[in-house]
Structure 1
C-alpha cells in the first residue's frame, strides 16, 4: 500500500497524476513506480484509457475516497466516447479498464478501425500552464488537450503546442513524464476570430470539453440515428418522395459547410467516389461504431452544439405518436387510438408529408400533414381502401329498404355518390327500392352503372364499336397507349365484357420496354480491362501488393469494377481470366522476395552489408536507407510465413 498519492487537479489526466507521483517519490527505476502503483511489473504507462484501475485503487493510502468510476469519469478520456457507444459496449470497456484486460479497449471503441489516429505527442496550452502555476504552484497535463480534433484551447482560444513527450513510448513503456519535466517556453499563438476554419476548431474543442465534464448521456446508436434522421428530414431538399435521404445532395451541402482543409485537419476527409462513406453511414441504420469526432461534425452541420443536441427533445412527428385514430364510422374502434402502422411519404412538389394509416378493420386512409391541431387527428384527405367491415355494412344497409341513400351515406361517413360507386363495385342489386330515379338524378355519369349490361345490350354494343374505332385509329399503339386514349370505354369493357376485350387487344410487350443488355460484349470489354489492370499492378514501382481478385476489381474503372463485383456470374470469360491471373499467397511471397532482392541490387547492397544494416535496424540505431529497411522487413515477413 502506498504511503502517499497526490491529489488530482481539475480535469487532470490520470497519466499526469501518476507522473507527479513518480517525480516526487523519485524511485531509482520506472519498474518500481509501476509495481507500487499497480501491484504488478507488467503494467504500461497508458495516457488515454488505462487498465488495472482496481489495482491502483487498492494500492492507494488508507482512508482515501477514490474509486475506479471516479478515475474513469474525471481523469481518463472515456467520457468523450461514451455518448456514442451502445450501452453494452460501454459497460464492457469500463470492466476492461477496471480489470487487467486492457488489450481490447481501443478495439471496442472503434479507435483501431476508425482511421482517426491518436496524437503522437502530449499537448499543452501555454496560457493554461501559467494559470495552473499561479493557482496550484505547478502545471499538469489536461485531458482535454490530448484528444484528436482538439487543436485549440477552449478556454483561452490559442493553438495547443506539442511537447516532446510521446503518447506511445515504445522504448520506455513504463515511464510517466510530468508537464513540469517537459516544460517549454513557447509564445501563445491565438486563433484568428475571422477565420472560419479556426472558428470550427474552437467550437469542436468547446463541445469536447462539455462531453468530458458534463455529459452523462448514453442514448445508444439507434436513438442517435433516429434523431439524426428527424433533423435531416426538416430540410425538404434532402428527402425523397418515400422519405429516404438524398445522400449525394446531403454530401454536397456538408462539403460546402466544411472546407476540405478543416476535414483533413480533423482526419475526416470525404471522398465523393466512395458511395458508402462515413457521412452516409451516420444517417443510415447503425451497423458500426464511428469516432465521436465525426458525430460532432454532423451535429454542428445540423445547427446544434453537442449540449443542445443531447438536451433536445424528440423531434415532433408530422402525425403525432402512435397509435393513431381509426376514422371508419362502422368500426368498433372509431375515433379511438388503435392504428399502429403509419406510412409517411413526401409530396414532390410542396414537400409536405402524407400519412397513410392502416386499421385492423381493413380501412385505409391518408392525410396531408403535418397535423397542426388536435382536430386534425379526426380528418382524412382520401380513403384508399374501405375494408371488409365497411363493405359488409354497406351490403346490409343496401338491403334495408327503410334506409335512404342519405341515411346510408351518413352512417358510412361518405357522400351519396361514393355510396353508389362502391355499391356498383360490389355488384349490389340495382335498382334499390325507391332509389333508382334518385341515383341517376344525383350522378348522371352513373346511369350506365345503374342498369346492368344484360338489361341494356345496346350500351355494350356501343362500347365495343367505340373500342374497335380506337384500335383502327391507332394501329401501332400498345395496350397502355390504347387504354389512355379511351379510359372510360376500356374500364366498362374490362368490368363487364373482359373476355371480348382481351381478344381485341394487341399482344403485350415481352420485355416491358426494358433495354436489352449485351452481356457478351460487356464480358469482352471487362476481360481486356482486367488484363490491363493486372499489368498495371505488376508494373507498379512501389511496394508490391497482392494481386487478388479484390485488388484487381478495385483497380478497374467504373463501370467495369461494378460489373466484376456484382455480375461476375454473367461474365464467364472474365471470371476465367481472373482465376488465371490472380496470385496465390505463395506466388505473391515469391514476387515480394524478388522485389526485395532487386531493391538490394539497385541500392548496391552486398550480403555482408545487408546483415550489418539488419542488425542496426533491429537495434533501432539507424534512420538511413529506408528503402532497404522496407525490403528487409518484407524478406523477414516472408521467411517467417514460410517457416
Structure 2
C-alpha cells in the first residue's frame, strides 16, 4: 500500500482520496477506497469513517488532529456538537447527516485558484471553504465559484465525486482561462460567514455546542430575549431577526420564518442537541445580536435576571397618608403565576396595593395598581367622618375615594342593625324543612333540583350538620371496594397476550397503545379508558414499553418493504430513493441512525442477490 500523497493547504479530503487512487494505479476506485477506509462505498464521501484510516496512516494523536483540522469538514461541525459526541462524529458521521446541509452537493472551484494552484503545485484541487452552501464567491480572488465548464457545461467532478479534475480544464479539455473568470462584488454576509468558520477552525478543539450555547444565553439575556422565569423568547427573536435582515435575505441562506416557527422546530432551538441542525440560523443570531463573531466567542457575557421592581424602597400611593408619594415602603412580596406581581404595604397607614411587572420593557411599572387594602388610617378617618354625620359625597371628596367604596364600608362595618344573613338562613331552613315533610325524596340529586342549586349550596355551606340529619344517606361508592391491584394484574396479562398475537401477525401499521388495546377484551379496553384508568399503573407502564417508536417500526417492517420490491418486476435496483418514493413513504421521517441501518441492509441485500 502506498503512503498518502502530499497534502496541499485547505485541500478537501475527497481530493486526497482521489489522488491516492490515481497514484496507486488501482483500476477500481472502490479498491483504493477500501484500502484507505476498509469499506467499499458507492461514492467518494465528504464524511468518511476515519478510524481505520487513522490507525493506518496517523498513529499519533497530534498528527490526527492536524489532519482533521486542515483537510476534513469535521472542524466546521464540531463547534455545534457536544464534546461528548465528537467521537461519534468521527466514527459514525451519518448520525449527524442533517448538519451536512451546510455543504454543497457538487464540488465548486474558484477559476483563479485552479490556475494558481496548477502553477504552484502542478495540479489543482478543491478548497474546503469553497464548498459551503450559499457561498458563491472566492474570498481571496473575489470571483464567482464554478461547478461546470462555461463552454460545454460538463461538471469538473463526476457524480459521487469518484473523479475530480486535477488540471484547470474540463473533461472535454476546455481550459479554464483567466478571461473566463467572473469577477464579483464581495457580499458582506458571505464574507462574514466564511470568516466565522475560519475563526472556529483556527480554534479547533476549543469550542463545542455547550460553549456556544453558554455564550448565546448570555447574549440573549443581555438583549432582553430571556424572561425572568428563564424562558427564551424564541418566536420574538425570530420575528425580530426577519424584520432586521429581511425575509428575502434569510431565504437566500435557507432560513424560512414559517419553518423556524413551527412548534416541532422552535421547541428544540437553543438546546445543545439541536445546534448542528440549524447552523446558519445560529450564525445569523450572532450577527443580529453581536455583529462580531470574534467578540461573541471571546467576550464574557454574564447571565443574570433583573430583579422585578428593583430593590426599593417604594412609594406609598395613599393620598391621605402623611408619607404620600414618598419611598417609605421597605418590603415587596413578589409572586410568579401567569404574570409577575409585587404587593406593597405601607407601615405608616396600612395601605396595600399590587402591581404587575412588565419584563419586556425598561420603563418603570405603571403608576396605578390594584388596591389590596385601603389601610387602617383610611378606615379610622372614614369612620370618624361618618360618626360626625358627614355625607358620603363630602367624605368621598375629602378622602379621595369613590362613593361606592365608602357606602360599602358603611354597610359592612358600621351598620350594626344588619341581620339579613342570619334571617335569610332561618328562612331557608324553614323552607327546606317544609319541602322535606311534604314529599318523600330518596336521592339528594332530586332534592337539590327541587329546592334550587344556589339555596341548597348556601345551606350546605352554612348548616352542613343540620342538613346531613335531614338528607337521605349517600349511596355507597362501589369504586372503593374494587381490588384494582388484581384488576391491574389481569389487564397486564391481557395486554401481554395481545402484544404476542400482534408480533405473530406482524401488522403493516405501527404497534401503538391503541392497537394493542384493540386486541384485548372490551372490558380491559373500557377499564383503561375509564375514570380510574390511573389505577392501572403496571399495565400503563407495560403499554409504554411495548409501544413502538418510529425507528423500531421502520426496522420491523423492512422485510415487508423487501417483499414489495420483489413483487414489483419493474423495480430493478433497491435504493433509498425508491423506498421513500415508491415502497414506503414513512422512511422519509427516519432518524439518521435508522437511515444508516437501512442503507446497510440494502447493501447486504444486494450482496446476497449477487451471490445467488
The normalised TM-score by structure 1 is 0.47
The normalised TM-score by structure 2 is 0.49
Higher helix share: 2
